[in-house]
Structure 1
């Protein structure tokens, strides 16, 4: 074992698995010193131009073939991202310049554009850049930020399911600081290693689905807070449970993922007999879901991390 923790540089690490999504292999470790879970970037290699061309072809389409079609992907993700769109809208007052890094088909941008003054996007996928620019008419490009924007340009920079893909997150976050206005904010949404399907339940099929070559870091609120601190930010990092109890029951019984929107349905995947009271059934599971999320929160579990941070004031 030659790997060291990329965050605290400790060599005291333990192998979690080397079996990843789609039968791929790479080494996933947990650091015993700082608790970071990470993929050893020397244990595999990406195809050339992976994010520019291949990402959706390998990451999501086994569950949801619509991801190959930018229009269908946009429509589906606009609904699937509603929770995070509303969280971001809550940070806006209407006069902000916003940059969405890793904007994909622009679903978050479109969801917040009427709540900000200007919204810009940065994306590597050439197909999605074209869709955002030509079809949506949004200001999106794959050009380096330094070629597009001056320093201190933005009131808010968003990273919605992006940071887990970044090989050197501290350097990346330090670079983004230069594009924030004084007092500007960084908003991050990332998967949480404290996802109950990972850290509470014993479902081997989910672990092979969860760990993938695209995600280089598997943050917890603790380790993300450490990364932000090392990059010169301070703010609030919290654990949130996005997926409902229905998705967890489906995983427990079916041992496979559901389609993007179906996975966010509170109801378990159980067909009711004719004449059943659908309304009362839905209310029942809504109440159960709230109790379930409260329980998970009380035990420190959650499938997402939500962080809002500002540049540290060292004076």
Structure 2
């Protein structure tokens, strides 16, 4: 197994690096592992995908890979089904976006997939643009009247003066080889006073950090993710950008999902026991995880200085 000489985020030396797991879901080569840096608390894949492997994966393989993880209910191979499957996710995210939608604004979503976040925003009068490298989704979104580009670089080439009030990406940053450069490129397209709002997995996911379920450990650490950020490591990354920022906690998956993981060692239990448990129990469980910091999701908000 290859060993990293230093942390790719903070450059701490080999003495600060340790193996998290050699179980990298989707790595047919069995040549990779995930490491933890004790200096900045980030988890990272080493060695990572080459640029050629990454381009091939996202252009042709990503939807099938996600379908293998989420099952048919996730809708990764059927665009209309993807819209329906993600409506609860869209509603959950709106609490983060609502403060920045009080008037008509220019919105860019990086990694818009089926466009499920953008259609209601466009219908409300906001001017929406998408970035989506996927061949499955990009034509679908374009066909529904929202301009879509394959990459940020393509957008900047075709519309060099494009500027946005709000830039969104959800579970994208952990897929990016250079997350600092990725965010800096977005800051360059952000209007003064504008925000970047994003979600990522939390490395302190309770199925791993609290319950330590072996089947989840083999499922969680994905070849598609160069990074898994914790609160400290995400704060470290955002502080280096030189702009105002904050990190919030959230919990996507419910008690029913966790019970199925504990009982059956597999995903797919979302809402399974909700009628018996009741909404109050499910919400109390989520809030307890959020308070403890052992929740599954982190939300980053970056404000570009120069506006209100």
Q: Work out the number of aligned pairs and report it.
A: 295
Which stretch of structure 1 is more off in the superposition, 33-42 or 183-192?
33-42
* Matching residue within 2, 7, 10 for 2:9: 7
1:148 aligns with 2:158: yes
Partners of 2:49 and 2:83 in 1: CA distance: 33
Establish whether residue 251 from structure 1 lines up as the match of residue 279 from structure 2: no
Q: Is the 1:152–1:182 contact (alpha carbons within 8 Å) kept by the matching residues of 2?
A: no
2:127 alignment counterpart: 118
Shift of 1:107: 0.7
CA contact 1:205–1:255 (8 Å) conserved in 2: yes
How far apart are 1:59 and its partner, in Å?
A: 2.6
1:89 deviation in Å?
A: 3.4
Q: 1:2 to 1:21 in 2, by over 3 A?
A: closer
> What are the residue-to-residue correspondences of 1:62-141 with 2, within 5 Å?
62-65=69-72, 66-134=75-143, 136-141=144-149
Match of 2:183 in 1: 173
Q: Any idea what SS the aligned residue of 1:107 has?
A: coil
Q: 184-193 or 85-94: which moved more?
A: 85-94
Q: Give a deviation string over 1:21-75, Cα, whole Å, max 9, x none.
A: 2464321001011111111144778365211121011233353234112222233
What is the distance in 2 between the residues matched to 1:215 and 1:309? 22
> CA 1:293–1:60 in structure 2 vs 1: closer, same or farther (change >3 Å)?
same
**Which sections of structure 1, spanning at least 5 residues, go unmatched?**
269-277
Pairwise CA distance, 1:137: 2.0
TM-score (norm 1): 0.86
Deviations 1:251-303 (A, max 9, x none): 11110011xxx52x2626xxxxxxxxx6xx3xx43222233223223322111
Cα deviations by residue, 1:104-130 (Å, 9 ceiling, x for unpaired):
110111132234520110110122111
Separation in 2 of the partners of 1:48 and 1:80? 27
CA distance in structure 1 between the partners assigned to 2:69 and 2:171 by the alignment: 19
Whether 1:197 aligns to 2:207 is yes
Match of 1:301 in 2: 294
Separation in structure 2 between the aligned mates of residue 47 and residue 293 of structure 1, nearest angstrom: 34
How many angstroms does 1:246 deviate by?
0.9
**5+ long unaligned stretches in structure 2:** none
Determine if contact 1:89/1:115 at 8 Å carries over to the other structure: no
1:197 and 1:248 in contact (8 A); partners too = yes
Do the aligned partners of residues 138 and 213 (structure 1) sit closer, same or farther apart at CA in structure 2, a change above 3 Å counting?
same
Q: Mean Cα displacement is larger for which, 292-301 or 247-256?
A: 292-301
Instruction: Spell out, residue by residue over 1:124-179, the C-alpha distance to the aligned partner (whole angstroms, 9 max, x if none).
Output: 01221111112x22211215221233346100000111101000011111111110
Deviation at 1:20, TM superposition (A): 1.9
* 1:199-278 superposed matches below 5 A: 199-258=209-268, 263=270, 265=271, 267=273
Q: CA RMSD in A?
A: 2.2
